[in-house]
Structure 1
Amino acid sequence: MPLGVVVDLDDTLYPQADYLASAAAAVGVAAGHAGLDGAAVHAALRSELAAGSDTGGTIDRALLAVGVPASALAGLVPPLVAAFTRHTPPRLTPYPGAEEALRALAAAAPLACLTDGNPAIQAAKVAATGLGPLLPVVVVTDTLGGRVVRKPHPAGLLAVSTRLGLPPERLLVIGDRPGKDVAVAAAVGARAIRVRQGEYAAAPDEPRAWAVVDTFPAAAELALDLVGALARG
């Protein structure tokens, strides 16, 4: 039975900071249309996102930071959140060598992408990277039950296992976050390669991955070696 390779998206295939900067600019424009200081909201939102991109409530905190009273948030936040979620970046450039490495993986093993987040946002990101044709299976965990089934919850990886027709322990996960990508692999008895890049590059290696590298191409090379070794028996 072959080994399937499962790749993360954000900060694994491309720098998520590029998407966040683009989306924050869109929110700044929408804030200007709402009568706020769009440049100030843009700057405050970028600061909030830099402090932690998946903490939630970033737009609320950005508005408070520029002096918007808490009593006004209920009317202002929803259209700004809509501007963020509907934003379609024109282009997100993959990390150097990522496209070639992904192409090699796609030719050698069953391949899938497992990513957390708003489904519309994640679809826009995949399209903007231009990597969609190399990812025959894309599972967005939020479609399986919302934020509560985001990695390291095993639901997403089990869904990938079903889509690829492989037992979960026959998967190899490549991702940047130990607490999500490595942990979700461990939850189903699979291997993981951690890539030290992006927002969580300095995060401690806990839980420990099967291997730790600095770039996605290096991770792909290890994955290809393992695929070949297992195929040879």
Structure 2
Amino acid sequence: MSTVPGWDGPPPLAVVVDLDDTLYPQAAYLAAAAAAVGTAAGAAGLDGDAVHAALVAELAAGSDAGGTIDRALLAAGVPAGALARLVPPLVAAFTACAPERLDPYPGVREALAALAGAVPVGCLTDGNPAIQAAKLAATGLGPLLTAVLVTDTLGGRAARKPAPQGLLALAARLGVPADRVLVIGDRPGKDVAVAAAVGARAIRVRQGEYAAAPDVPAPWAATGSFPEAAELALAVAARAVAV
């Protein structure tokens, strides 16, 4: 079900979507990456199953924090003194994970195509650029997007949402003022907050790792799925055509 307040002011001229847990379930990618790390740990002479299980637990506790592989190794009984030698190749195994396929949430492909037929659609995502590119390629959704921007390319973790520079740069690529985009994403503290930072509005999608997070800051609307969010976005974007 959707919660829809009224829309006042000028309608959006473009839509910006998040990637992880908005277009596809990120848990599918994290499972593949954790398995790759477990295999690499075994090849390095460690207990690969133990490292894999510990990394799965660390990622379940919060996939956005750094140092997950370090903590997983410690939890698997690896001495702290060995981390400097072992972590880099395991991080490389995680980064190199490129699943052949990541299935989008139901209805996402059709909803994204409908949006793309009406307004420019960009994707703004945080993370390692190689990892994010591999995820997007595996979803097969790239051709439906006018532009993609990985915030880390603008200055590493400091440029991640809710820092505004990524959305400002992507809006420029889409050829619209930043305050005339409508953001769709799953995380209030990132997707809704970055929209607010540039004077834009956001639709929050309650799914994935942060589905139960409170609506702080408050979005313009909240839905239970991306297709519902796209339907709302199309309804308000149509007002730009009518004006």
Q: Same fold (TM over 0.5)?
A: yes
Native 8 Å contact 2:178 2:200 kept in 1: yes
Deviations 1:56-76 (A, max 9, x none): 110001000010000000000
Cα deviation for residue 3 of structure 1 reads 1.1
Partner SS state of residue 174, structure 1: strand
Separation in 1 of the partners of 2:144 and 2:33?
A: 25
Aligned pairs for 1:125-144 (under 5 A) are 125-144=135-154
- Give the structure 2 partner of residue 147 of structure 1: 157
Is residue 221 from structure 1 mapped to residue 231 from structure 2 by the alignment? yes
Secondary structure (helix, strand or coil) at the match of 1:6 reads: strand
Residue in structure 2 matched with residue 76 of structure 1 by the alignment: 86
Root mean square deviation of aligned Cα? 0.9
* Runs of 4+ residues over 3 Å off in structure 1: none
Q: Which residue of 2 aligns with 1:157?
A: 167
Distance 2:109 2:174 in 1: 21
> Counterpart in 2 of 1:116?
126
Q: Which runs of 5+ in 2 are unaligned?
A: 1-10
Equivalent AA in structure 2 for residue 209 of structure 1? P
2:40 paired with 1:30 = yes
Q: Mapping of 1:186-197 within 5 angstroms?
A: 186-197=196-207
How far apart are residue 230 of structure 1 and its match? 2.8
The answer to whether the 8 Å contact 2:12/2:182 transfers is no
What is the SS of the residue equivalent to 1:205?
coil
Equivalence for 1:87: 97
Question: Unpaired segments of 5 or more residues in structure 1?
Answer: none
Paired position in structure 1 for 2:116: 106
Q: How many residues align?
A: 233
Does the aligned pair in 1 maintain the 2:16–2:123 contact within 8 Å? yes
**TM-score, structure 1 normalization:** 0.99
Three-state SS of the structure 2 residue aligned to 1:212 is: strand
TM-score w.r.t. structure 2 length? Answer: 0.95
User: Which of the residues 36, 57, 71 maps onto 1:61?
Assistant: 71
> 1:108 is paired with a residue of what secondary structure?
coil
Deviations 1:97-133 (A, max 9, x none): 0000000000000110000000000000000001011
